[in-house]
Amino acid sequence: MNNSNDAVVQGTSNDAAVSRESAARLGYINDPFIRYFVKRPQRRAPLINRGTHSRFDGMQRIIRQFVRKSSSKCQIVSLGAGMDTLYFLLRQQQEQPWRIFEIDFTEITAKKAAAIYKTSALRSLLPQDMAVAKGGTELHSHDYTLISGDLREFATSVVPKLMARGFDCSQPTLFLSECVLIYLDPQHSDQILDWITDNMKHAGILTYEQILPHDRFGQMMIENLRARGLELRGLHAYPTLQSTSQRFLDRGWHSAVAVDLATYHEKLVCEDEQSRLAKIEFMDEWEEFRLLAQHYAFTFAYTADTAPFNSMSMEQI
């Protein structure tokens, strides 16, 4: 990947933040912090807001189970965190893990660090020992660390930075990849998973990525992104629900389960929540929503049959 491609990939963090802000402003999801990271808000179409709701709900569901069921020293590592507001959401609700580490390209972490630093509603939630580091491109504190780095150099350059900030390989750790690993060559994303496999006993991962490149909708999705200079490099290596979970089992992980967003929305978002959503906006593009949602999947996997992972699942709230 050359630098101009990197710049396009970095731009996807703004797309994700704009969609999150749209869903938050309309009341689909509860995220009072995302607005501080969006310069030019846009109202997304109802089907996109619905998708953002299920995406947010699914990620939060696993993350909150992990934090609630863990012993005191649990860690979250968000790969390609973009403008995700996870730390602030958990902090506000007093459901914090021991440590949260966020990693992204320097261009993104610099923007995020600046937004946090200049916004008192965000800064006041960070601990007293918060310090701006590396020329304003990183934030360091005892429980929240924003690290700049390239995930393609995970073992050689990201891991040493994590270690220097107190990352502990022996503690239960949940890795997150929300539309991130899909942008890496499979060789690079596999190296991250291999590092986890080789170095961590109690690790889990929650990914949310695109699937199904071969049908008409998948082809259209690929072409639309390609027109913007975006390549879903991991899509062909792990194209189906089955293969997204099998990649973990092939590495000897204890469990891996994948569910697509259409199924999540239909079966795992409860009736009360569905009727609350229906009152926010009228939506009649159900066919289109289903098609879109079938092309995104959550995968939850963990390395060993240990707590808290072995008592967590996408079905639980």
Ligand X SMILES: C[S@@+](CC[C@H](N)C(=O)[O-])C[C@H]1O[C@@H](n2cnc3c(N)ncnc32)[C@H](O)[C@@H]1O
> Is residue 216 annotated as involved in ligand binding?
no
Binding range to ligand X, per CB under 6 A, among 37-45, 104-112, 125-133, 164-172: 104-112
Residues 6+ apart with CB under 8 A from 239: 211, 212, 213, 214
Nearer to ligand X, 69 or 161 (CB): 161
Rounded Cα gap, residues 296 and 208, in angstroms: 7
Residue list 31-90, contact with ligand X (CB under 6 A): 80-82, 84
Type of residue at 307: A
User: Which x/- pattern over 173-192 shows residues binding ligand X (rule: CB under 6 A)?
Assistant: -----xxx--xx--------
> Is residue 150 annotated as involved in ligand binding?
yes
Instruction: Tell me how many degrees the CA angle 50-79-113 measures, rounded to the nearest 5.
Output: 90
Nearer to ligand X, 39 or 279 (CB): 39
Rounded Cα gap, residues 180 and 177, in angstroms: 5
Phi first, then psi, for residue 204 (nearest 5°) are -130, 165
Rounded Cα gap, residues 304 and 252, in angstroms: 9
> Is residue 291 annotated as involved in ligand binding?
no
> Is residue 272 annotated as involved in ligand binding?
no
Rounded Cα gap, residues 209 and 11, in angstroms: 17
Residue list 135-164, contact with ligand X (CB under 6 A): 150-152
Nearer to ligand X, 175 or 248 (CB): 175
Is-contact 59 80, C-beta < 8 A? no
Nearer to ligand X, 84 or 138 (CB): 84
Q: List, as residue ranges, the binding site.
A: 55, 80, 150-151, 178
Residues that bind ligand X (CB under 6 A): 9-10, 12-13, 16, 80-82, 84, 104-105, 108, 150-152, 178-180, 183-184
